[in-house]
C-alpha cells in the first residue's frame, strides 16, 4: 500500500444519468477533502475538456466547479447529477491501436490532458458506461506514449450503467432503482390491461443486454420477456450488410420481426384458452438495433455511433404487427399498445442499496488513488461491497480497444428464473 496525496483531483460524469450518481460523487469528494485534497468537478462530461483552447482556458462556474463542503450537504440521496453529464467523446477518431500514435486523431485527448494540467489536476475520476471506460483507457494509453518528463494525470474509472451489462462488477449502481421504477410502471399497465382486456408491449432500456428487461419482467409480473440474448432459433435471421469503413459485405444476425410478432400472438391465444384476456410483454430496447437494416437507415446516431433507439419505438412497432397478425389468424381484434419506459427511471430517487453501492465506489476511487496509487484501473466491488480494482487491460480487447459487454448467459439461473415465471406456451 502506498500513500499519495494529490493536491487536486478532477471528477466527471459521462453518458446517461443513473440513480445514485450523486452518492458516488459525494463519497469521492468527501473522502478527498478530508485528506486535504481539492476536488474539481468538470461540468457536462468531457465537453469542455475535449474542446480546450489554451488561449481561452477554462472558466470556473461554467466549465468546472471547485467543491466546497456546502456542495455536499444532502447530496448523497439527491436526484440528478450535480456536475451534469454529456456524451462528448474525445476518443471518437480512435478505431485501432495505431491511431493512438496519430497526432490528429489523438488531438482531443491531448486537449483533455492539457486542460487538466492547466488546472493542476493530478488525477481524474471518470464515471460512466462502457464507452466512457473505453475513453478512460484511450487517455491512459495516450499518456503512456507521452515523452518522458511530461506531466501525467492518473485515471481511475467508476462503472455506471442502469443496464448492468458491465464486466468486472456484479451490479452497477442505479440498476436496482431503475428496475423498481419501471417494474412499478409495468404493474400499473398490467392493471390497465386487466381492466380493458388488452395487451401492453413495453420497451425498457437495455441497449446491448437484457438485464433490465429481465429484472422488470420478474419484478413487474410480465407474461413474456424478450431481450437481445433471446434472438436465436426461430427469432433469428441473417442479413448481409456492407461495412462502410471497408466496403466488405458481412453477415449479421437480425431479429425476425414476424417471428417475434407470431410469438406474441401465440402468447395471447394461449392465455385466452386459459380464460385470461390480458397481458404484458417486456422487450429490451436493444432488439431495435437488431432489426433489418431497412428499419435503421436514416436513424440518428450519437457521439459513440449508437443508433437512437428511442426513435424506432420497437414496442409500438411490435404492437402494430402483432395485432395485425392476431386478426389475420383469429378473425378477431385485440387491443395492443406499445409503451416506452426508461427515461423516468434515470434520475429517480435512489434506493438504499444503490446509495450504499455508489458510496463504496466513490470511496473506492479515493482509496485506489490515495492509498493504492492506482492508474488505469476500474473501481469495483464484490461480495459484501468489498472493494477491488480491475486493470483496464482486463476489460478491453487489446486489438480492437473495445470494451466487452456482459450478457445474460444462455441457460443461466437468472435467465431460467425469467423463463420459469413467464407464461408457458404450448410448445414449451
Coil vs helix vs strand at 10: strand
Which residue carries 436514416 as its cell?
298
How far apart, in whole angstroms, are the C-alpha atoms of residue 6 and residue 255? 51
Region of 95 on the Ramachandran plot (φ > 0 left; ψ -120 to 50 alpha; else beta): alpha
| Grid coordinates of 158 | 467508476
Among candidate residues 204, 329, 215, 336, the one with its CA nearest the CA of residue 279: 336
DSSP 84-115: ------TTTT--SGGGGG-TTTTHHHHHHHHH
DSSP assigned state of 402: P
The answer to whether 163 is a known catalytic residue is yes
Residues 45 and 15 sit within 8 Å (Cβ to Cβ): yes
| CA 139, chain centre distance (Å) | 20
| Grid coordinates of 247 | 466496403
Coil vs helix vs strand at 58: coil
Coil vs helix vs strand at 19: coil
Which residue carries 449502481 as its cell?
173
SS (H, E, C) 150-191: CCCCEEEEEEECCCCCECCCCCCECHHHHHHHHHHHHHHHHH
Which one is catalytic: 163, 180, 230, 354? 163
User: Which residues are catalytic, by number?
Assistant: 163
Amino acid at each position: 500500500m502506498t500513500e499519495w496525496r494529490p493536491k487536486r483531483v478532477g471528477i466527471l460524469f459521462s453518458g446517461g444519468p443513473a440513480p445514485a450518481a450523486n452518492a458516488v460523487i459525494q463519497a469521492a469528494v468527501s473522502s478527498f477533502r478530508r485528506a486535504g485534497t481539492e476536488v474539481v468537478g468538470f461540468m457536462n462530461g468531457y465537453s469542455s475538456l475535449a474542446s480546450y483552447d489554451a488561449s481561452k482556458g477554462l472558466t470556473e462556474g461554467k466549465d468546472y466547479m471547485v467543491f466546497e463542503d456546502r456542495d455536499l450537504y444532502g447530496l448523497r440521496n439527491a436526484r440528478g447529477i450535480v456536475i451534469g453529464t454529456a456524451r462528448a467523446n474525445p476518443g471518437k477518431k480512435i478505431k485501432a491501436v495505431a491511431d493512438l500514435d496519430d497526432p490528429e486523431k489523438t488531438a482531443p485527448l491531448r486537449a483533455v490532458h492539457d486542460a487538466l494540467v492547466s488546472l493542476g489536476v493530478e488525477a481524474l475520476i471518470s464515471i460512466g458506461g462502457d464507452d466512457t471506460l473505453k475513453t478512460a483507457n484511450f487517455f491512459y494509453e495516450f499518456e503512456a506514449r507521452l515523452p518522458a518528463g511530461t506531466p501525467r494525470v492518473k485515471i481511475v474509472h467508476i462503472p455506471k450503467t442502469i443496464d448492468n451489462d458491465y464486466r468486472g462488477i456484479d451490479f452497477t449502481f442505479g440498476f436496482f432503482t431503475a428496475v423498481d421504477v419501471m417494474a412499478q410502471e409495468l404493474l400499473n399497465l398490467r392493471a390497465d390491461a386487466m381492466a380493458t382486456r388488452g395487451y401492453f408491449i413495453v420497451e425498457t432500456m437495455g441497449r446491448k443486454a437484457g438485464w433490465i428487461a429481465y429484472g422488470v419482467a420478474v419484478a413487474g409480473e410480465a407474461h413474456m420477456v424478450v431481450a437481445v440474448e433471446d434472438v436465436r432459433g426461430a427469432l433469428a435471421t441473417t442479413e448481409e450488410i456492407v461495412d462502410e469503413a471497408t466496403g466488405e459485405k458481412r453477415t449479421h444476425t437480425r431479429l425476425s420481426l414476424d417471428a417475434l410478432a407470431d410469438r406474441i400472438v401465440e402468447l395471447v391465444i394461449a392465455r385466452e384458452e386459459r380464460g385470461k384476456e390480458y397481458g404484458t410483454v417486456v422487450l429490451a430496447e436493444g432488439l431495435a438495433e437488431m432489426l433489418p437494416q431497412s428499419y435503421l437507415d436514416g436513424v440518428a446516431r450519437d457521439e459513440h455511433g449508437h443508433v437512437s433507439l428511442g426513435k424506432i419505438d420497437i414496442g409500438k412497432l411490435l404492437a402494430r404487427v402483432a395485432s395485425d397478425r392476431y386478426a389475420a389468424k383469429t378473425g378477431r381484434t385485440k387491443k395492443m399498445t406499445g409503451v416506452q419506459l426508461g427515461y423516468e427511471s434515470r434520475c429517480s430517487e435512489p434506493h438504499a442499496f444503490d446509495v450504499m453501492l455508489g458510496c463504496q465506489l466513490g470511496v473506492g476511487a479515493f482509496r485506489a488513488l490515495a492509498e493504492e496509487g492506482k492508474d488505469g484501473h476500474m473501481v469495483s466491488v464484490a461480495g459484501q461491497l468489498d472493494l477491488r480494482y480491475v486493470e483496464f487491460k482486463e476489460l478491453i480487447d487489446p486489438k480492437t480497444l473495445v470494451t466487452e459487454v456482459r450478457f445474460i448467459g444462455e441457460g443461466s439461473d437468472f435467465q431460467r428464473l425469467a423463463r420459469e415465471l413467464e407464461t408457458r406456451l404450448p410448445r414449451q
